[in-house]
Amino acid sequence: MSTKVVAPRKKRLSEGLTVTQKVFIRSRNGGATKIIREHYLRNDIPCLSKSCTKCQSIVVPDAKNELPKFILSEEPPKLSKIGKHYVVVDTNIVLLAIDLLENVSCFFDVIVPQIVLDEVRNRSYPVYTRLRTLCRDSDDTKRFIVFHNEFNEKTFIDRLPNETINDRNDRAIRKTCEWYAEHLKAYGINIILVTNDRLNREAVKKESESHGYFTKSLYEYADLLSNADEIKELIPNVDNYAESKELLPEDMSEIVFPEYYQTSRVMGGLRSGSLFQGNVQISEYNFLEGSVSLPRFSKPVLIVGQKNLNRAFNGDQVVVELLPETEWKAPSTLTLDSEHFDVNDNPDGQGEDDQFTNENSTTVISDKQRRLLAKEAINAQKSKKVQPTAKVVSITRRSWRQYVGQIAPSSVDGKTNGIQNVFVILMDKCLPKIRIRTRRAQELLGKRIVISVDSWPETYKYPLGHFVRDLGDVESTEAETEALLLEHDVEYRPFSKKVLECLPAEGHDWKAPAKLDDPEEISKDPLLPKRQDLRDKLICSIDPPGCVDIDDALHAKKLPNGNWEVGVHIADVTHFVKTGTALDGEGASRGTSVYLVDKRIDMLPMLLGTDLCSLKPYVDRFAFSVLWELNDNADIVNVNFTKSVIKSREAFSYEQAQLRIDDPNQKDELTLGMRALLALSIKLKQKRLDAGALNLASPEVKVHMDSETADPGEVEIKKLLATNSLVEEFMLLANISVARKIYDAFPQTAMLRRHAAPPSTNFEMLNEMLQKRKNMHISLESSKALADSLDRCVDPQDNYFNTLVRIMSTRCMMAAQYFYSGAYSYPDFKHYGLAVDIYTHFTSPIRRYCDVVAHRQLAGAIGYEPLSLEHRDKHKMDMICRNINRKHRNAQFAGRASIEYYVGQVMRNNESIETGYVIKVFNNGIVVLVPKFGVEGLIRIENLTDAAEDAVYDELEFKLSFKPKNSDKIREVHVFEKVDVQVRSVLDPVSSKRKAELLLV
């Protein structure tokens, strides 16, 4: 077979413009498509160096009639042996060391060839955006430019026969360097190509003797810098970097993970139904066990063991292959986490592991047999206890990001001060430890650090990463807060200048116009006459104490016909946040405000959230109002939506409002309105419950902070007052009314929220436990049936039992999600928990982006202003929904993690004995929930008994029997059992994570 390449044709179109063709083959779905692209070459692309005198004369203005800005300095940094230099980076350097490129103390005057930018975009979009930002915002300090080498006729090269695309691109980069070196020789500026690719560096040497530019590996380059030691520390850890002598052959271990399948096999297998694709979810109790939800299977398929997980991280998109029936297993009843697993593993070498010794037999199983196996597996899931298992054969998309963790002290060699390999234990316990190389191991001990994962070669037991930055001491509030924000991907940097420029120029002095027909005001805001003046209504707001971002207010008034006029007024955020502005973009990307115990990360800048939009009392504010006419039975007679201007008469806390309502002496109109609201809300709630709305529970607690020292003082379970539910009911009503209206106006793209019915498999375990232990049952036919059966789960001896069941049921429910109405059919819009057919979020636009979209759509629906295309495009709505769903979930987790941290801090000072409930029984431990602190913890068998091997675990009875310490009598612990536990907070020596340690008393 001879390889042949179509000779590219070049055609000169005009002076300085040549057209050529790019040919490539695209393999897709087994087919091969030949793709031809016309490619234009020009001669007016400047080098962008300030010292260059030639390029100034060739530049031409762009479409905006602006000339390109020359950025590279005429006095770039000098290196001792090389002199003045510009740096050219290659793709791998960007991908590996983007952190280093962003570092303010190295990498100045950097040329990024366009081909590198393209390659980076294909490999990692996040890195690409960072590089783009770096080039765009590179001011006088960093000076990064993109050189369009592919469009420059002097630097464009054709691909040669038998040349891989990577080789061709490397050659293009070298060509660029060569051109630059030649171009800038006259000005005494040298070019250094930084590349970690040894072959590339050798190619430079081969290509020409007098190529005129230098090539260095990242390590060598860092070595040349004046601040070399500091920079070298930050160099990423990859297998083949730097021929530095430290890398010993012993670093390679005998452990070999199975190789990933080739793309062709993966695609073929997926198509023929013998391989499956899904996201890995690592069990939170056992980091060596994961599961993959696959559309064809009714239950997630298990992946057991390190080798079968085959280097998959939690959340990675993977392709799996079913294992033969003989290897199917029941889910492990063991708990394992990476902190305690192989604690003594040496990060330099790697011990033998018997898991890896039993190689799979190499017999080939045909696709036909595999399909039969899959059928078998689906059946097995329905009936048997034994569950099909699978192994990961390919990773489609990595979920790698930056992780927070701390160095495992046991892996640090205290004697050396040189570079050493150490393990970093990540905060997320579903992830393995990461191996990093650092010189500062000693110094970083006991600190929270950010690391990033670089690679996980087959021959390494643990992934390789590198140190990014240090957050501060473990347990210091700043470090812990930042750590949990990072871990939950919460954007917490201050708002950028561009965002803040979108705010009203008046700042805090902004005032709502006194008169809506004032011509001067109308000229500023032509929509003003469409607003309704509701300043005469007796409106008040009810919120938690200390609330500053008040986004809702209410009023009620008796109408002459005996019905009630009830108004819900929501902060008019969209008056200030217009689509397409930087402010809107930032809000959309943050998605939601995040509430931590001691901190609030706003979705919108403070000025809007706590002042201009916030419906503060005694001042005029713009609002979006929903006005109903309700009859005495709280049925809607009529509903109306309008943008308005209001003046809140009072801002109550829940307690104040409750007191005011309860005080018989208060007979003013405002109080009467509040009493009417309360009465109506009770009726609304009853109607909702009758329809089958669920009353679920979660162990929510509140941490009280000492106001002076900001130290957490005590923990309290959140109390609910009638006024809480007053506000809640009307917000629900408003959300439902708005949902109907916007769905009516925009049937394809209305922003809605749904909550799917839980699949019965979710409740299987809980039901089995209830059946066995309490002879109770949760029915799942409808939300009404579920609600009723939850009401029946009562233990006369124990008041808390019902709440416990509710807490456990909550965990079996599906998560509610945002969606656009075109994504599902109407019956699937149903909100299961609230038992309504359609729902959205409208009432908190200051802190949720969904509400902002709903506001705009409602404004469009009532003809206030036309709806921007952004919210009428299914594709764009899909992107928005995806993002806010993710951000919403992350925000919840971050909030919970923050409470957990503070609860830990509170318990640090008060060790006590509390009542707990066993909620899960494992082979080697039990999980106990302590309602008072809302914490749950695993009690390991080692802490229950001295004779761990004598403990008996009864899977069917959910029972663990063992001999407690200092006792001869066998003790049995069942699930749901009420136990007394000693609660104290301990700092785990391995993970330096403080957590509640429970001990059975």
Partner 1 sequence: MTLSVAEKSYLYDSLASSPSIRPDGRQQHQFRPIEIYTDFLPSSNGSSRIIASDGSECIVSVKAKVVDHTIDDDLLQIEVEIAGERDDSLITESCTSLFNKLLRNIDIKKLQLTKKYSFKLFIDVLVISSNSNPVSLISFGIYSSLNCTSLPKLVSNFDDLEVEELPMFHDYDLVKLEVDPPLVFVLGIVKNNIFIDPAANESEVANNGLMISWINGRTIAPMRTFALNDTNTKGFSPKLMQEGIKLVERYAPDIANALQNI
Residue numbers of the site for partner 1 (CB under 8 A)?
Answer: 1-6, 9, 21, 23-27, 29-32, 34-36, 159, 161-163, 165, 262-265, 267-269, 271-272, 274, 364-368
Q: CB 195 → partner 1: shortest distance, Å?
A: 22
Distances (CA, A) of 87 to 133, 181, 223: 18, 11, 14
Separation of alpha carbons 220 and 195, rounded Å? 10
Q: CB 792 → partner 1: shortest distance, Å?
A: 53
| Residues contacting residue 462 through CB under 8 Å, at least 6 positions apart | 345, 347, 423, 432, 433, 434, 435, 456
Closer residue to partner 1, CB minimum distance, 365 or 559: 365
Closer residue to partner 1, CB minimum distance, 365 or 970: 365
Residue 456: closest CA among 195, 220, 258, 284: 258
Tell me which H or E stretch contains 902.
helix 874-909
Closer residue to partner 1, CB minimum distance, 175 or 575: 175
Residue 577: closest CA among 292, 241, 343, 853: 853
Q: CB 265 → partner 1: shortest distance, Å?
A: 5
For strands 275-282 and 214-216, give the pairing: unpaired
Q: CB 35 → partner 1: shortest distance, Å?
A: 8
Closer residue to partner 1, CB minimum distance, 30 or 863: 30
Q: CB 394 → partner 1: shortest distance, Å?
A: 13
Instruction: State the DSSP code for 186.
Output: G
Closer residue to partner 1, CB minimum distance, 30 or 546: 30
Closer residue to partner 1, CB minimum distance, 268 or 472: 268
| Residues contacting residue 401 through CB under 8 Å, at least 6 positions apart | 452, 489
Q: CB 7 → partner 1: shortest distance, Å?
A: 9
Residue reference for tokens 């106006």: 745
Closer residue to partner 1, CB minimum distance, 368 or 401: 368
Residue 701: closest CA among 899, 419, 840: 899
Q: CB 502 → partner 1: shortest distance, Å?
A: 44
Q: Are 927 and 974 in contact (CB under 8 A)?
A: no
Q: CB 43 → partner 1: shortest distance, Å?
A: 24
Q: CB 365 → partner 1: shortest distance, Å?
A: 7
Q: Are 35 and 25 in contact (CB under 8 A)?
A: yes
Alpha helices for 429-575 (secondary structure H): 441-444, 477-487, 497-500, 519-524
**b/e per residue 569-602 (b: at least 16 CB within 10 A):** bbbbbbbbbebebebbebbbebbbbbebbeeebb
Q: CB 168 → partner 1: shortest distance, Å?
A: 8
For strands 190-194 and 402-407, give the pairing: unpaired
Q: Are 408 and 438 in contact (CB under 8 A)?
A: no
Concatenating the DSSP letter of every residue in 625-643 gives EEEEEE-TT--EEEEEEEE
Residue reference for tokens 């009911």: 729
Closer residue to partner 1, CB minimum distance, 30 or 664: 30
Closer residue to partner 1, CB minimum distance, 2 or 799: 2
Closer residue to partner 1, CB minimum distance, 38 or 62: 38
- What type of residue sits at position 386? V
Closer residue to partner 1, CB minimum distance, 6 or 505: 6
Separation of alpha carbons 163 and 923, rounded Å? 57
Closer residue to partner 1, CB minimum distance, 105 or 262: 262
H, E, C per residue of 973-1001: EECCCEEEEEEEEEECCCCCCEEEEEEEC
**b/e per residue 413-445 (b: at least 16 CB within 10 A):** eeeeeeebbbbbbbbbbbbbbbbbbbbbbbebb
| Residues contacting residue 667 through CB under 8 Å, at least 6 positions apart | none
Separation of alpha carbons 700 and 810, rounded Å? 13
Closer residue to partner 1, CB minimum distance, 25 or 248: 25
Q: CB 397 → partner 1: shortest distance, Å?
A: 18
Closer residue to partner 1, CB minimum distance, 34 or 493: 34
The neighbouring-strand residues paired with 554 are 540, 568
| Residues contacting residue 366 through CB under 8 Å, at least 6 positions apart | none
Closer residue to partner 1, CB minimum distance, 31 or 545: 31
Q: CB 36 → partner 1: shortest distance, Å?
A: 5
Closer residue to partner 1, CB minimum distance, 3 or 707: 3
Q: CB 25 → partner 1: shortest distance, Å?
A: 5
Through-space distance between the first and last CA atoms of the chain, rounded to whole angstroms: 78
Closer residue to partner 1, CB minimum distance, 5 or 785: 5
Structure tokens at 63: 């479409």
Residue 326: closest CA among 358, 296, 278: 358
The neighbouring-strand residues paired with 836 are 831
Distances (CA, A) of 994 to 136, 462, 664, 845, 915: 42, 25, 49, 36, 21
CB atoms within 10 A of CB 21: 15
| Residues contacting residue 617 through CB under 8 Å, at least 6 positions apart | 540, 541, 648, 649, 650, 651
Closer residue to partner 1, CB minimum distance, 27 or 56: 27
Q: CB 268 → partner 1: shortest distance, Å?
A: 4
Separation of alpha carbons 903 and 51, rounded Å? 60
